[in-house]
Structure 1
C-alpha cells in the first residue's frame, strides 16, 4: 500500500496555509486540513483523464493546456 503522510511540521504548515490562503472558502480549507491529518492513499488516486470521462466532461484541448 502506498500512502503519503506528513510530518508534524508539514501538517502544521498545511493547516496554517489552508487557514491563511482560503479564509473565504471553508470547504477548501477543510480539504487541506484533512490531507494534513490523514495523508494521501496513493493506491486510491485516480487520473484526471479518468475522472473527466467519468463525469462526462469534454476531452482536453491540448492548445489550452497551461504549462
Structure 2
C-alpha cells in the first residue's frame, strides 16, 4: 500500500502554512490539515476522468464552462 505520512514537525509546518495561505477558506484549510494529519493513501486516489465517466459527465474539454 502506498501511503505518504508526515512527521510531527512537517504536520505542524503544513498546518501553519495552510492557515496562513487560506484564512478565508476554512473548508479548504480543513481538508489540507487532514491530509497533513492522516497522510495520503495513494491507493485511494482516483483519476478525475474516471470520476466524470462514473457520474455520466462529458469529457472535459479544458473550458471553464466544462467545470460548472
TM-score by length of 1: 0.78
What's the offset of the Cα at 1:17?
1.4
What RMSD over aligned residues (CA atoms) do the two structures have, in Å? Answer: 1.7
In structure 2, C-alpha distance between the alignment counterparts of 1:40 and 1:22, rounded to whole Å: 20
What does 1:5-24 correspond to in 2, within 5 Å?
Answer: 5-24=5-24
- Unmatched 5+ residue regions in structure 2? 64-68
Q: Could you list the structure 1 runs, at least 4 aligned residues long, displaced by more than 6 angstroms after superposition.
A: none
Matched pairs, number: 63
What's the offset of the Cα at 1:24?
0.8
After superposition, what is the alpha-carbon deviation per residue over 1:3-54, rounded to whole angstroms, capped at 9, x for unaligned?
1111222211210111011111111000011000000111111011112223
TM-score by length of 2: 0.77
